[in-house]
Amino acid sequence: MSGRSEWWSVYIKHGASIAAQGYGRHRIARLYGLPLNAARRLKYYIDTHGAPDDITEEAPAHDVQIQVKQGRTHLVIGDAHAGPGQDLSRFKWLARFCHAHKPDVVVSIGDWFGLDSLCKHNSPKESEQQRLQADLDAGNEALRIFDDEMRALNFKNGTTYNPRRVVTLGNHDARIMREASQFPYMHGVLSYDLMHWKSYGWEVQPFGMPIEIDGVRYCHFFTRTGSPRAIAGQHHAATLVREGLGSTLVCGHSHQLHWYHRADHEGRRVHGLVVGCYFKHHEQYAGTSNGQWWRGLCLLHNVNQGDFDLETWHISRIEATHGGMG
């Protein structure tokens, strides 16, 4: 069939799901980024020949070569907002989850530290009760809990598991540098060194600067060209794909979960992913917006040249699976 190269990779990767769900050509086109004619041909082929498990003929060599590449696994931690007075058990669950799934790379997408004492929107009454040192102590304690539990699990299991750890600092983390810039006499006193990332083996990526790992660009949030404002909105992930100009973009910041992916005519797939947040408490400032937030972790399997298979774990499932281990 002519033009098979346009849709064959989608058939190999998603044909079983398309057949099981009974998707029509319009939905196939929308979900997998195919032109409508290509989606029609793919639908016809599935109806005629069945799902990939039922393949009895091979794709002609001149049409397309399907090359399976095994990639690495990334664990992405959304905004954690550690703060004083919180139950920080979620960071012990995080270590247990990490050790159980053993991702090659662990990425904190930023705002691990809440630093609410430095929020410029605080009322005088709110500021009375808040202390920067308490904020820093909470975030550093969360780092210690995660690291201690990882070490304990290695000792218990006789393993030496130690993934690459990367943090892309967020706007909450950056509050400490904003404070230093507004009060020059605090230069050298207020700095990112007050956050103990490097002491626990994390690579620190400055706020607003993406880092690319296995073809995925990570940043706390992305902006449109020429604008300082974070990309957001109902179609957040789709906008990331459009603004990414062919790159896969993964971010946090909005505390919501959005995922969109699209393939080009060669079958190369790019993604836009917004990873939600990693805390259970409600933030008073957000009001009803708390209900729109997704709380959990994102596992990116088989990451290769920006493509990946997404697995999500809600924090309630993480607690149920990894919260009762003593």
What the block records as the tokens of 267 is 């079958």
Residue pair 198/204 in contact (Cβ under 8 Å)? The answer is yes
Contacts of 229 (CB under 8 A, 6+ apart): 223
Q: Is the predicted pLDDT of residue 63 greater than 60, yes or no? A: no
Q: Is the predicted pLDDT of residue 62 greater than 50, yes or no? A: no
Rounded average pLDDT over 187-207: 86
Q: Which residues pair with 113 in a beta bridge?
A: 82
DSSP for 171-223 reads: TTTTHHHHHHHH-GGGBTTBSGGGS-TGGGTEEEEPTT--EEETTEEE-S--B
What whole-number distance in Å separates Cα of residue 26 and Cα of residue 77? 34
Q: Is the predicted pLDDT of residue 291 greater than 90, yes or no? A: no
Q: Is the predicted pLDDT of residue 60 greater than 50, yes or no? A: no
10-19, 124-133, 226-235: the lowest-pLDDT one: 124-133
Rounded average pLDDT over 234-249: 90
Measure the CA angle with vertex 292, ends 291 and 298; round to 5°: 115
Rounded average pLDDT over 80-90: 93
Q: Is the predicted pLDDT of residue 56 greater than 60, yes or no? A: no
Instruction: Return mean pLDDT, the chain.
Output: 84
Q: Is the predicted pLDDT of residue 55 greater than 50, yes or no? A: no
Q: Is the predicted pLDDT of residue 125 greater than 70, yes or no? A: no
At how many degrees (to 10) do helices 8-21 and 25-32 cross? 130
In b/e form, how buried is each residue of 24-36, taking b as 16+ CB within 10 angstroms? ebeebbebbbbee
Rounded average pLDDT over 246-254: 93
The pLDDT of residue 21: 75
Q: Is the predicted pLDDT of residue 257 greater than 90, yes or no? A: yes
Rounded average pLDDT over 95-116: 93
Helix ranges restricted to H, the chain: 8-21, 25-32, 36-49, 89-101, 124-128, 132-157, 175-182, 236-243, 315-322
Rounded average pLDDT over 209-216: 96
Whose tokens are 């960071």? That residue is 91
What the block records as the tokens of 214 is 């296995």
The pLDDT of residue 3: 55
Rounded average pLDDT over 6-10: 79
